[in-house]
């Protein structure tokens, strides 16, 4: 769905405690999470405003978000 939030706490509510713990204690997780949320916000804004952008740019942004989300999920599930 266009414009849907993919925030970590929205997509992984069952890991809320682990996400909060990692946010408070793991600098790599924090940096990755910041980059993930920045990408997610940028993608949502482009989708909601129907802003002109190339398909290649949008595809790459979504791919980058997915790669970061997978990395963050691995960190969360191993915590």
pLDDT at 26: 96
CB 26 within 8 A of CB 75: yes
**H or E segment and range at residue 19:** helix 16-25
pLDDT at 59: 93
Whether pTM exceeds 0.75: yes
Terminal-residue alpha carbon distance, the chain: 30
pLDDT at 2: 64
What residue ranges do the domains of the chain occupy? 8-78
Q: How many residues does the chain have?
A: 79
pLDDT at 49: 81
- pLDDT tens series, the chain, 79 aa: 566 788 999 999 999 999 999 999 999 999 999 999 999 999 988 888 877 778 899 999 999 999 999 999 999 999 8
Residue 77 contacts by C-beta under 8 Å, 6 or more apart in sequence? 15
Residue 1 Cα distances to 8, 27, 32, 37, 62, angstroms: 17, 31, 24, 17, 13
């Amino acid at each position: 769905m266009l414009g849907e939030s993919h925030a970590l706490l929205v997509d992984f509510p069952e890991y809320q405690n682990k996400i909060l713990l990692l946010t408070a204690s793991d600098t790599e997780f924090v940096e990755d999470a910041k980059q993930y949320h920045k990408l997610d916000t940028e993608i949502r804004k482009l989708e909601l405003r129907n802003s002109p952008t190339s398909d290649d740019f949008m595809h790459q942004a979504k791919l980058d978000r997915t790669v970061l989300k997978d990395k963050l999920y691995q960190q969360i599930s191993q915590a």
